[in-house]
Amino acid sequence: MPKRVLSGTVVSDKGDKTVVVRVERRVKHPLYGKIIKLSKKYHAHDEANAYRQGEQVRIQECAPVSKLKAWTVLDRIGAAKAVEIEIAEVETTMPEAAPAKPAEEKAEKAAKPAAKKSKAKAKDVADADA
């Protein structure tokens, strides 16, 4: 029986000698008829830790290597797409402004009228007792 060969994208290379490959397939929805993408992740054995995240690879079915790994990586189909990262530099010449404390100011404002109300209630209770 021939071994299955699938192609997919490496989504994780964090494990030692292991890569996780996402294989996408397109199927027609049984009810609506729209073409949808379904994906499945396979753990594949990578002996030399040669494959990195984002690369297109081919994997082949093999005897189980571990609990999750029953695939080996055959070869690289495409390289990972380069992602441009922009690093923002912090300006050191800008003086640091004192951080505003709106929560504390609101709490102080709310506490002052509450104190006045409690004093007024105390006076009403004292007048009622007299």
Question: Using a CB cutoff of 8 Å and minimum separation of 24, what contacts does 39-43 make?
Answer: 41/11, 42/6, 42/8, 42/71, 43/15, 43/18, 43/19, 43/68, 43/69, 43/70, 43/71
Hey, is 48 helix, strand or coil? coil
Model confidence over 32-62: pLDDT tens digits?
A: 999 999 999 999 999 999 999 999 999 999 9
**Nearest in space to 17 (alpha carbons), one of 48, 41, 43, 40:** 48
The verdict on pTM exceeding 0.85 is no
Model confidence over 5-29: pLDDT tens digits?
A: 999 999 999 999 999 999 999 999 9
DSSP 3-60: PPEEEEEEEE--STTEEEEEEEEEEE-TTT--EEEEEEEEEEE-TT----TT-EEEEE
Hey, is 110 helix, strand or coil? helix
